[in-house]
Amino acid sequence: MSDPIQPSSESFLGIHGTALALREQRLQLLAANLANADTPGFKAQDLDFNAALGAALRPGAAAGGDPIDAAVAGARHARTSIQPSADGNTVESEREKANFAQAALEYRASLSFVESRVRTMLTAITGE
């Protein structure tokens, strides 16, 4: 049971702390795809953000474990390629760059929400 005087970071940040962590995980997957664009046999992966967020926020999502890790494991999937290469690599560089750019914007938006919460709390504490 959490102490009402000292709320947990999850209740303080609401959904935004979890969303930020999941967006970071997605960015890491997309960066790995880009880094392995020329690796024979590499299979591009992605994260279904909505499924991961739902799983991470579900009560008892990871009994005793990290709910973020459990959510990522459940929502991670191999991306099907529109134009597979002859060497079996499924990374499509232009598609990955576009997905990475969009994911970076989404990450920044989540970070802005977290920053806003922290700024609000600092204002309440300092009175400025």
Residue 4 counted as domain residue: no
Residue 84 counted as domain residue: yes
Q: Are 18 and 117 in contact (CB under 8 A)?
A: no
Count other C-beta atoms under 10 Å from residue 128's C-beta: 6
Residue 121 counted as domain residue: yes
Residue 23 counted as domain residue: yes
Looking at the DSSP bridge assignments, the partners of residue 45 are 78
Residue span of the structural domain in which 37 resides: 13-126
The count of domains in the chain is 1
Q: Determine the residue type at 44.
A: A
Q: Determine the residue type at 61.
A: A
* Residuewise pLDDT in 10s, the chain (128 residues): 444 443 444 577 888 999 999 999 999 999 999 999 999 999 999 999 999 999 999 877 656 678 899 999 999 999 988 887 899 999 999 999 999 999 999 999 999 999 999 999 899 998 87
Q: What is the pTM of this model?
A: 0.82
Closest to 37 measured CA to CA, from 92, 109, 102: 92
